[in-house]
Structure 1
């Protein structure tokens, strides 16, 4: 029997680990993810800004962002549209820092120069700029989020959406953990868990918005998951139903059994 003081080993149960370099673009899984104390390295290091409105673009209001693939390569930041049109270049500092609204929070963002803004402005049919964000500046909750397969299956059954585990990217979670008991992750609150050589401290459940109702590859609304969640899950003060849990990175674990995907820690 384990106690709450013992580290919970989850490495062999991690099915996927992922993020998006540009906030709102398609959530991708990677065979290897590096972590530091601010979360997955490279996660949401860029965002799109509407300068006229003075705010960061919200995924829930610009769901077609999810159809766009962004990756960081040796050539720089590559952005590919569903049409196949693509640009790849290293975003260069434009020499201007702007303060933008991100869900009611003021964040300072460094505007960049390069072909990315023009491509995304055309795709979104609005004038946007690509900005580099400080670590965690455009992350709504804790730096790491976790969903589990048993919880996904339970929600999928209730919502008549049996392929929900295959569409786990709807929840844009850092980690998808294989479990047998729905919502077992909520019993991990305050626990230290280990994934690879990374130690996480699990935090509270995550309130959800309508983003989960959009297909994670196309951004087209397909599903009524949010309404289903609201019928049986606990809600926060704003009435948002909770699903999955948050976590903070607290350090490196000792050497252990290697697993795929590989998750490693580095001091920032």
Structure 2
């Protein structure tokens, strides 16, 4: 429960999402195990070019239409016009290569050539699939996390949180409402005021505490319709009118977690620290 101005309100976890392959379609969950890097298998696979640079919906909006399912020992890929492909995670075999996510580089394992052929055909470019094994770590930016804090292939942080109230407020400013999947969060919370998450510094959900690292700056992936891969002007055009700070538009908060455990939809969200506390 969260106490604000003498009133006790219930904030709860209303959505859990993870994205096994970076920038491909996400999966909604009712419960999720949380490990050192975040939700188990979140952004564990990534599509890269021949030089190891990560590929995303920024350049290839059709990645939104790649549906991913976890199967024993790996993942299943499906996309329009393509045969279904089962991919083993090859955690202990396969060539190790250096890959790049923005300014970070780390090593990952190449997945088999069949996955490379499948992705190259679908995307129309030279593409390969890589997997981040347990023994390979990627440090969260030390400006926001402790030494040893890990993340998978997410842009920078293990979790992204957005409140349903913030999306509702944005949709009230738009001609056509947009779904939450435009913003690709891990955690959706309900029961707070719009943008109240901007003021949070430390929260707890179940037995796991989360430190709010920084606001999430938004790029034009948010303008990709996740069900059609078509790109428009919203929501960035509207967000730019009231959520701009300097050169960036912000929507949602990046989190770093302390500890492991399990999250379940319906769990209470306790705000432990706010700005000004």
CA contact (8 A) 1:50 1:57 kept: yes
Using the alignment, how far apart are the partners of 1:9 and 1:202 within structure 2? 20
Superposed, 1:49-198 pairs within 5 Å as: 49-51=48-50, 53-74=51-72, 76-83=74-81, 85-92=83-90, 95-113=94-112, 115-133=114-132, 134=136, 136-162=151-177, 164=178, 167-188=179-200, 190-191=201-202, 193-198=203-208
Map of 1:246 onto structure 2:
254
Unaligned runs of 5+ in 1: 264-268
TM-score, normalised on structure 2?
0.79
Distance of 2:175 and 2:3 partners within structure 1:
37
Confirm or deny: 8 A CA contact 1:142 1:248 kept in the other structure: yes
Structure 1 residue 183 displacement after superposition: 0.3
Q: Is the 1:9–1:194 contact (alpha carbons within 8 Å) kept by the matching residues of 2?
A: no
Q: Is the 8 A contact 1:150 1:178 kept in 2?
A: yes
Aligned mates of 1:198, 1:32 — CA distance in 2 = 14
Q: Hey, what's the Cα distance between the residues in 2 that align with 1:21 and 1:76?
A: 10
How far off is 1:45 after superposition? 0.4
* Cα distance in 1, alignment partners of residues 121 and 240 from structure 2: 36
Alignment RMSD (CA, Å): 2.8
Which residue is equivalent to 1:30? 29
Q: Per the alignment, do residues 252 and 46 of structure 1 end up closer, same or farther by CA in structure 2, a change over 3 Å counting?
A: closer
Q: How many residues align?
A: 248
Q: Quote how far apart the aligned CAs of 1:160 are.
A: 1.9
Q: CA deviation at 1:161?
A: 2.5
Kindly indicate whether the alpha-carbon contact (under 8 Å) linking 2:152 and 2:158 is maintained by their aligned counterparts in 1. Answer: no
Give the whole-Å Cα distance in 2 for the aligned partners of 1:262 and 1:71: 25
Any idea what the Cα deviations from partners look like across 1:173-214, whole Å, max 9, x if unmatched?
A: 0011113521011121x22x2323332222321111000011
Q: Is the 1:20–1:27 contact (alpha carbons within 8 Å) kept by the matching residues of 2?
A: yes
| Residue matched to 1:260 | 265
TM-score by length of 1: 0.82
List runs of 5+ in structure 2 lacking aligned partners: 138-150, 269-277
> C-alpha separation between the residues in 1 aligned to 2:249 and 2:245?
4
By how many angstroms is 1:137 displaced?
A: 4.6
